Amino acid sequence: MPTTLSDRNGLVNRQIPEMQLSDGSPSSLTAPPPPAPLHLTPEGRAQHRFAVQGNAIITGGTGTLALAGARALLEHGLTGLALLDRDAESAADAVEGLARDFPAARILVKQVDVTRADEVARAVGEVSGVLGSVDMLVCYAGVVGCVHALDMKPEEWRRTMDINATGAFICAQAVAREMVGQGRGGSIVFISSISAHRVNYPQPQSAYNVSKAALLHLKNCLAAEWARYGIRVNSISPGYMDTILNEGAGLESARKIWAERNPMGRMGVPAELTGPLVLLCSRAGSFVNGADLVVDGGAVVF
């Protein structure tokens, strides 16, 4: 609250910054994409539609879902890939497999803490220098914890928010700055969750749910602000996925509940997230901006 006349005058006379929207003209960075070349066969047109061009940074890049996404982007034409993770050595075999299967692609792995803006900015600059550009960012980095709200320590709440929400913003900002300098736009994809849309059952995880809900609105804000630079910002909200994080005897009861409360009667598998990711990173998603793709077998309909 203003405490002096000077403070009040400064408040009532201030001017707030205003976002600018693109005019969509042919000279803008949001112009319609050119049509597919006429000489292409039907198969060629299909490949052209879902072609992924350029280089991508994937955070949380050594996780199961991230590696599945990386492989799909490479299959669709990605030429350069940088996997950023705090535990960069944990998926050495998987990364070697990508390098073996896609020998023409340049693949980098960097140890980065997404909550450290200095580390992220340095890594983005280094990736751009080696690969030549950064054209896509996919934010998988995140943590989850199941704690009753009455028992949760503030430090645990802050850690979850810092990694899942603030970390995504730090990475998006660093990559967007690079994209603006490049002058040809790009695609940013946040990995949110059905936990952003409704309360989980049976596990209590309020910090995780709120952090993922924050990503949805962050996506909206950045999609509005950065469209004029040709940067599309979208998100994917997976349902329960059958990965090592959801395995073990202690989770048998929860897994049964998750499956029974899903119209399709099961959890998803990592490959089922790759199609939406390719859509958002390819020509096929050129007019998709500010969207959230829910990939959950219909769990959120209840």
- Structural domains in the chain, CATH included, are 45-295 (3.40.50.720)
Please state the three-class secondary structure of 188-254 as a single string.
EEEECCHHHCCCCCCCCEHHHHHHHHHHHHHHHHHHHHHHHHCEEEEEEEECCECCHHHCCHHHHHH
Instruction: Please answer whether residues 142 and 162 qualify as being in contact, where contact means their C-beta atoms are separated by less than 8 angstroms.
Output: no
pLDDT of residue 218: 98
Residue 185 makes CB contacts below 8 A (sequence gap 6+) with 29, 179, 229, 230, 231, 232
Instruction: Clarify whether 140 is annotated catalytic.
Output: no
The predicted-structure confidence for 237-282, as pLDDT tens digits, reads as follows 999 998 866 666 767 888 899 999 999 999 999 999 999 999 999 9
- Please, are residues 239 and 198 in contact by the beta-carbon 8 Å criterion? no
Identify the CA nearest to 294 among candidates 198, 168, 228.
Answer: 198
- The predicted-structure confidence for 148-177, as pLDDT tens digits, reads as follows 999 999 999 999 999 999 999 999 999 999
Torsion of CA 114, 118, 120, 123, to 10 degrees: -140
Q: Considering only CA atoms, which of 149, 139, 144, 156 is closest in space to residue 251?
A: 144
Q: What percent of the chain stands above pLDDT 70?
A: 96
* The predicted structure's pLDDT at residue 129: 97
Q: How are strands ordered across the β-sheet holding 106-111?
A: 106-111, 80-85, 55-59, 136-139, 186-191, 231-238, 292-295
Contact 216, 192 (CB under 8 A): yes
Query: Does residue 62 contact residue 91 with C-beta atoms inside 8 Å?
Result: yes
The two structure tokens encoding residue 278: 């390719």
pLDDT bin (cut points 50, 70, 90) of residue 2 is: low
Structure pTM?
0.93
Identify which of 90, 107, 89 has the alpha carbon closest to the alpha carbon of residue 98: 107
Q: What is the mean pLDDT of residues 72-87?
A: 96
Residue 1's pLDDT band, with cuts at 50, 70 and 90, is: low
Out of 140, 201, 208, 240, the active site residue is: 208
